[in-house]
C-alpha cells in the first residue's frame, strides 16, 4: 500500500494538495456548527438504577432531584418584606417556565421543609427547581431561565446555580480557555519548530498538517452528533491532540525527507526529490501508520464505557490521530515533493549566526553526536542508570497508592463563577443541601402510607442524615416531627427523600450511600440522587476497566509484534509505559488530590480526582508513549536488520537508533508538552489536570524513559530483544520478508 501511495504522490502532487484544500474547507464548513451541538454532561451511566429511578420519578410525580438552584440573599434576612417580595416574585417567574417540572421555594414552604431551604444565619434561602430534559436540554433551558432571573432586585441578590448552570459555566470556560490556550501555544510552537528545522518553510508544514487534522476532527464530531451524544469537553482533546500529534508525525516525515534527500544527492540520483519521497513514505510513512495505531486502539478502549463523556474522547482522539496520519503520509509528501530544496528556504538561523559572529553549524554524523555517546555508555553499562531511573519513577508514583476518585462538581470552576458561588453557599451556609439528597423510589410498594414509617424512622437515624421525607411524614433523628409533604405516594409508587449536607461526590457521600442502602426497605427500591449516581457510575467504570485494560495490552502487543517481529520488545514497551504513567499519576494525586501547588494553579482541592480523568489520561498517555517507542524502534530495527545479529550489532543498533531519533523525539516531546501545557491556563481544574498531566508524562517519557531506560533495557537483553517463538517468527517473515524491510 505504501508503495502505491508513494507512486500516487509522485504522479500527481498538485492534485493531492488541491484535494486536501477542498477537503479542509469542506470540513471547516461542516465542523463550524459542532460546538452548538455538543453535549454538556455524559458523566453518568444512563442505564444505571439511579437514572431509571429518576425517570420513574419524573413520569410519576413530575419531579426529581433539583438541577437548578436559585439563591436569594439579603443582609436584612430572608424574612424581611423586601426579601419575601423578591423571593415570591422569582418563584412565580420560575414556576411559569414551561421547562420546569417542580419548584420548592422557601417562601412557599413551612415548618421543617422551609428550614431546610434557609441558611443557618437566615440571610439566604433557596428555590430548588427541577427542569425537564437530559443534561444538554436542561442546561439550555436553565441558561435561558437564569438570564431572566439572575439579577439583583431592590438590594436583594439573586444568583442561579445547580447542575444546569454548572454545565453552562463549564462549557463557557472551556470554550474561552481553549481559544486563549491555543493563542499561546501556536506562536511558541512555531518558534520551536523554526529552532528545530532552521527553515521557516519547513517549520510551517507541521502547523498546516495540525490545522488539517483539527478541521477534519471537528467535522467528524459534528456528523457524530446526528447519531449519538458527544461531549463538549472533547473539543480540548481535538485541538490539543490534533495539533500535537500532527506536529509529531510531520517532524518525523520532514526530518526523514531531508535526510533521504541528502542521501539521494550523495548517490547521484537523477530524480532526487521523487526518490526521497519514495523512501520517506516507505520507511517513515510505515512508522507513522504504526505509531497512529496504538493511540487509536488505546483510545478506542473508552468505547466500552457507557458514559458518553469518555466515549466522546475516543471519537475525538481516533479522528484526530487518523486525520494527522493521513495528512502526514499523503498530503505532506506531496508538498515536500513540490518544494524540493526550497523546504530549507528562509533559514532564520543563518542570519542570527552571522549577527552573533558565529560560523554555520556543521552537520554531525550520528556516530559523532552526543546522543550516540550517551546511548553507547548506557548500553555498555546499563544496570546503574536503569536502576536509578526506575527508583525515581517509582518514588514519584508513591502518591498514586492513595488515589481517591469521584465526579467533578462546581468546585472545578473559579470562585467568582455564579454556579460556584451557589455551590459554596450550599456547602458552607446550609444545614442541608437540596442537591445532595438521596431519593429512594419504591416502584411497587404498599399503598398504605404508614407502611413506610419504620423504614423512614431507621433512615433518619443514619449518621449525616438531617431529615427523611416519607409518605407517612417527616422524620428527624428517629422521630416523626411533621405530616408528610404532598406527592410522596401515587398508587404503588412511593418516594422517600433522605436529606443531608454531605458533599455527594466524596468519600463521605459514598459512605452515606452505603449506610442508607444498609437499611432494609419494605419492598424493592431504586436509589437516586447525585451521591447514588456517583456510586453507580464508579461501579460501572470499575467493572468495565479490566476489559479496557486487556484490550489496550493485547492490541498494543500485537501492533508492536507486527512492527518488530519480536515478543520481547512489546512486553518491554508496556513495562516502560507503566513506569512513566505511575510517575505521572503520582504527581497528579500529589498536586490535584492532595492540594499541593493549588495556590500556584488556582484551584480548590476536593480530596479526590475526577474518576474519568485518570482513565482518559491512561489511555491517551499509553498510546502517545507507544508513539515515541515506535519512532525509536523503527530506526533501531533498521540498523539491526543491516547487522550480523550479534550482541555487538544490537549495541550498535540501539546507540545509532537513539542517535538518529534523540533530537527529533526531544523536539516532538517539547512541542507536544507546549501544546498540552497551554491547557493549564484553563479556569476549569480538571482541564488543568488533563493538560499538566499529559505534558508531564510526555516529558518524562521522552527523557528518562526513551533516553535512558530504553537503551538500558535493550542493552541488558542483547540479542533477546529480537526473539520470538519459531512459529511466530515464521509468521512474521511471511508477512514482512526481511528484504522488504531493508531500505
307 and 191 in one domain? yes
With cut-offs at 50, 70 and 90, classify the pLDDT of residue 455.
very high
Identify whether 60 is part of a domain: no
294 and 183 in one domain? yes
| Residue % of the chain over a pLDDT of 90 | 34
335 and 224 in one domain? yes
Identify whether 429 is part of a domain: no
Considering 134, 161, 188, which residue would you say is the last residue of a domain?
161
Highest-pLDDT range among 5-9, 405-409, 500-504, 616-620 = 5-9
Average pLDDT over residues 683-698: 87
- What CATH number has the domain bearing residue 447? 3.30.70
**pLDDT at 155 > cutoff 70:** yes
The phi and psi torsions of 336 (rounded to 5 degrees) equal -65, -40
With cut-offs at 50, 70 and 90, classify the pLDDT of residue 708.
very high
With cut-offs at 50, 70 and 90, classify the pLDDT of residue 360.
low
Identify whether 364 is part of a domain: no
With cut-offs at 50, 70 and 90, classify the pLDDT of residue 596.
very high
**pLDDT at 343 > cutoff 90:** no
105 and 27 in one domain? no
Identify whether 207 is part of a domain: yes
pLDDT, residue 539, reads 85
**pLDDT at 742 > cutoff 60:** no
With cut-offs at 50, 70 and 90, classify the pLDDT of residue 741.
low
Identify whether 428 is part of a domain: no
254 and 111 in one domain? no
296 and 217 in one domain? yes
**pLDDT at 716 > cutoff 70:** yes
CB within 8 Å of 39: residues ≥ 6 apart: 135, 136, 229, 230, 231, 232, 308, 312
Q: How far apart are CA 275 and CA 260, in angstroms?
A: 8
386 and 244 in one domain? yes
483 and 553 in one domain? no
Helix, strand, coil content of the chain in percent (nearest 5) = 70, 10, 20
pLDDT, residue 362, reads 55
Give the helix ranges, DSSP H, for 281-369.
286-300, 308-326, 332-339, 349-355
Burial of 646 from C-beta contacts in 10 A (0-12 / 13-18 / 19+):
exposed
pLDDT, residue 378, reads 93
Helix (H, G, I), strand (E, B), or coil: what is residue 148?
A: helix
What's the pLDDT tens digit per position in 393-440?
A: 999 999 999 988 877 788 888 888 889 999 999 988 998 888 888 999
What's the pLDDT tens digit per position in 88-132?
A: 999 999 999 999 988 989 999 887 788 889 999 999 999 999 898
**pLDDT at 357 > cutoff 70:** no
Q: How far apart are CA 435 and CA 437, in angstroms?
A: 6
pLDDT, residue 95, reads 92
Give the helix ranges, DSSP H, for 678-737.
685-700, 710-717, 726-735
With cut-offs at 50, 70 and 90, classify the pLDDT of residue 622.
confident
pLDDT, residue 358, reads 62
Identify whether 299 is part of a domain: yes
Average pLDDT over residues 329-339: 93
Average pLDDT over residues 711-730: 89
**Considering the chain, what is the average pLDDT of its residues?**
87
* Of 481 and 344, more confident: 481
CB atoms within 10 A of CB 80: 17
In contact, 524 and 443? CB cutoff 8 Å? yes
**Segments forming the whole domain that contains residue 477:** 438-528
What's the pLDDT tens digit per position in 244-272?
A: 888 889 888 988 898 888 888 888 877 88
Identify whether 48 is part of a domain: no
659 and 564 in one domain? yes
**pLDDT at 361 > cutoff 60:** no
684 and 588 in one domain? yes
**pLDDT at 353 > cutoff 70:** no
95 and 16 in one domain? no
Considering 113, 144, 161, which residue would you say is the last residue of a domain?
161
Identify whether 427 is part of a domain: no
What's the pLDDT tens digit per position in 179-224?
A: 777 777 778 888 888 877 777 888 888 888 888 988 998 898 889 8
Helix (H, G, I), strand (E, B), or coil: what is residue 103?
A: strand
Name the pTM for this structure.
Answer: 0.81
**pLDDT at 735 > cutoff 80:** no
Cell of 191: 518558534
* Of 676 and 714, more confident: 714
**pLDDT at 388 > cutoff 90:** yes
Considering 512, 528, 544, which residue would you say is the last residue of a domain?
528
| Tally of domains in the chain | 3
CB within 8 Å of 63: residues ≥ 6 apart: 57, 101, 102, 130, 487
584 and 724 in one domain? yes
**pLDDT at 43 > cutoff 90:** no
> What DSSP letter does each residue of 174-237 carry, written as one string?
HHHHHHHHHHHHHHHHHHHHHHHHSBHHHHHHHHHHHHHHHHHHHHHHHHHTTTS--BTTHHHH
Q: How far apart are CA 407 and CA 504, in angstroms?
A: 9
Average pLDDT over residues 24-41: 84
**What does each C-alpha distance from 672 to 150, 251, 628, 685, 694 come to in angstroms?**
41, 12, 12, 20, 9
In contact, 249 and 330? CB cutoff 8 Å? no
pLDDT, residue 68, reads 92
Give the helix ranges, DSSP H, for 565-646.
568-588, 598-601, 612-641
Amino acid at each position: 500500500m505504501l508503495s502505491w501511495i508513494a507512486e500516487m504522490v509522485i504522479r500527481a502532487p498538485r492534485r493531492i494538495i488541491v484535494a486536501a484544500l477542498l477537503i479542509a474547507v469542506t470540513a471547516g464548513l461542516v465542523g463550524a456548527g459542532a460546538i452548538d451541538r455538543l453535549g454538556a454532561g455524559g458523566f453518568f451511566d444512563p442505564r444505571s438504577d439511579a437514572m431509571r429511578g429518576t425517570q420513574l420519578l419524573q413520569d410519576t410525580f413530575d419531579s426529581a432531584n433539583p438541577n437548578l438552584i436559585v439563591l436569594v440573599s439579603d443582609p436584612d434576612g430572608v424574612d424581611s418584606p423586601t426579601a419575601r417580595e423578591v423571593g415570591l416574585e422569582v418563584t412565580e417567574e420560575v414556576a411559569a417556565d414551561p421547562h420546569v417540572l417542580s419548584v420548592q421555594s422557601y417562601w412557599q414552604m413551612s415548618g421543617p421543609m422551609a428550614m431546610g431551604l434557609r441558611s443557618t444565619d437566615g440571610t439566604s434561602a433557596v428555590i430548588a427547581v427541577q427542569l425537564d430534559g437530559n443534561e444538554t436540554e436542561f442546561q439550555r433551558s436553565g441558561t435561558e431561565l437564569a438570564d431572566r432571573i439572575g439579577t439583583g432586585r431592590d438590594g436583594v441578590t439573586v444568583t442561579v446555580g445547580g447542575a444546569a448552570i454548572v454545565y453552562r459555566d463549564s462549557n463557557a470556560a472551556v470554550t474561552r480557555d481553549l481559544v486563549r490556550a491555543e493563542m499561546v501555544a501556536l506562536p511558541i510552537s512555531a518558534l520551536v519548530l523554526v529552532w528545530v528545522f532552521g527553515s521557516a518553510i519547513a517549520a510551517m508544514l507541521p502547523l498546516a498538517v495540525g490545522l488539517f487534522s483539527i478541521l477534519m476532527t471537528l467535522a467528524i464530531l459534528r456528523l457524530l452528533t446526528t447519531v449519538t451524544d458527544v461531549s463538549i469537553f472533547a473539543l480540548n482533546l481535538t485541538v490539543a491532540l490534533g495539533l500535537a500529534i500532527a506536529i509529531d508525525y510531520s517532524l518525523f516525515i520532514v526530518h526523514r525527507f531531508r535526510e533521504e534527500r541528502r542521501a539521494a544527492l550523495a548517490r547521484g540520483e537523477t530524480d532526487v526529490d521523487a526518490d526521497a519521497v519514495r523512501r520517506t513514505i516507505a520507511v517513515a510513512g510505515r512508522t507513522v501508520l504504526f505509531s497512529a495505531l496504538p493511540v487509536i486502539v488505546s483510545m478506542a478502549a473508552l468505547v466500552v464505557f457507557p458514559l458518553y463523556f469518555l466515549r466522546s474522547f475516543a471519537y475525538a482522539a481516533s479522528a484526530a490521530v487518523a486525520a494527522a496520519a493521513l495528512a502526514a503520509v499523503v498530503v505532506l509528501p506531496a508538498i515536500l515533493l513540490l518544494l524540493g530544496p526550497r523546504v530549507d528556504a528562509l533559514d532564520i538561523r543563518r542570519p542570527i549566526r552571522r549577527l552573533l559572529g558565529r560560523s554555520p553549524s556543521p552537520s554531525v554524523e550520528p556516530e559523532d553526536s552526543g546522543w550516540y555517546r550517551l546511548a553507547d555508555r548506557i548500553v555498555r553499562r546499563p544496570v546503574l542508570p536503569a536502576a536509578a531511573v526506575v527508583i525515581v519513577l517509582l518514588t514519584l508514583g508513591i502518591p498514586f497508592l492513595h488515589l481517591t476518585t469521584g465526579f467533578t462538581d462546581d468546585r472545578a470552576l473559579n470562585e467568582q463563577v455564579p454556579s460556584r458561588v451557589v455551590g459554596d453557599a450550599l456547602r458552607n451556609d446550609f444545614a442541608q443541601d437540596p442537591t445532595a439528597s438521596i431519593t429512594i423510589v419504591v416502584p411497587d410498594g404498599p399503598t398504605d402510607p404508614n407502611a413506610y414509617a419504620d423504614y423512614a424512622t431507621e433512615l433518619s437515624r443514619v449518621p449525616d442524615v438531617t431529615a427523611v421525607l416519607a409518605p407517612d411524614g417527616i422524620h428527624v433523628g428517629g422521630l416523626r416531627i411533621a405530616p408528610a409533604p404532598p406527592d410522596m405516594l401515587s398508587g404503588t409508587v412511593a418516594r422517600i427523600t433522605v436529606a443531608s449536607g454531605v458533599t455527594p461526590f466524596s468519600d463521605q457521600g459514598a459512605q452515606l450511600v452505603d449506610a442508607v442502602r444498609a437499611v432494609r426497605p419494605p419492598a424493592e427500591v431504586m436509589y437516586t440522587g447525585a451521591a447514588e449516581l456517583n456510586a453507580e457510575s464508579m461501579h460501572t467504570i470499575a467493572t468495565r476497566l479490566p476489559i479496557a485494560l486487556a484490550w489496550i495490552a493485547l492490541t498494543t502487543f500485537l501492533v508492536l509484534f507486527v512492527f518488530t517481529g519480536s515478543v520481547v520488545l512489546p512486553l518491554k514497551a508496556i513495562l516502560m509505559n507503566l513506569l512513566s504513567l505511575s510517575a505521572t499519576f503520582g504527581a497528579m494525586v500529589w498536586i490535584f488530590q492532595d492540594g499541593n501547588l493549588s495556590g500556584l494553579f488556582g484551584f480548590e482541592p476536593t480530596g479526590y480526582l475526577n474518576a474519568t480523568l485518570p482513565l482518559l489520561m491512561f489511555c491517551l498517555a499509553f498510546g502517545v508513549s507507544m508513539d515515541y517507542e515506535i519512532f525509536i524502534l523503527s530506526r533501531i530495527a533498521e540498523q539491526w536488520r543491516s547487522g550480523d545479529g550479534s550482541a555487538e550489532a544490537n549495541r550498535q543498533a540501539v546507540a545509532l537508533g537513539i542517535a538518529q531519533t534523540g533530537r527529533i523525539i526531544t523536539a516532538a516531546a517539547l512541542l507536544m508538552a507546549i501544546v498540552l501545557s497551554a491547557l493549564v491556563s484553563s479556569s476549569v481544574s480538571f482541564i488543568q489536570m488533563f493538560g499538566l498531566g499529559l505534558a508531564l508524562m510526555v516529558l518524562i517519557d521522552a527523557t528518562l524513559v526513551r533516553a535512558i531506560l530504553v537503551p538500558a533495557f535493550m542493552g541488558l537483553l542483547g540479542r533477546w530483544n529480537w526473539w520470538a517463538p519459531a512459529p511466530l517468527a515464521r509468521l512474521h517473515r511471511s508477512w514482512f520478508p526481511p528484504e522488504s524491510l531493508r531500505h
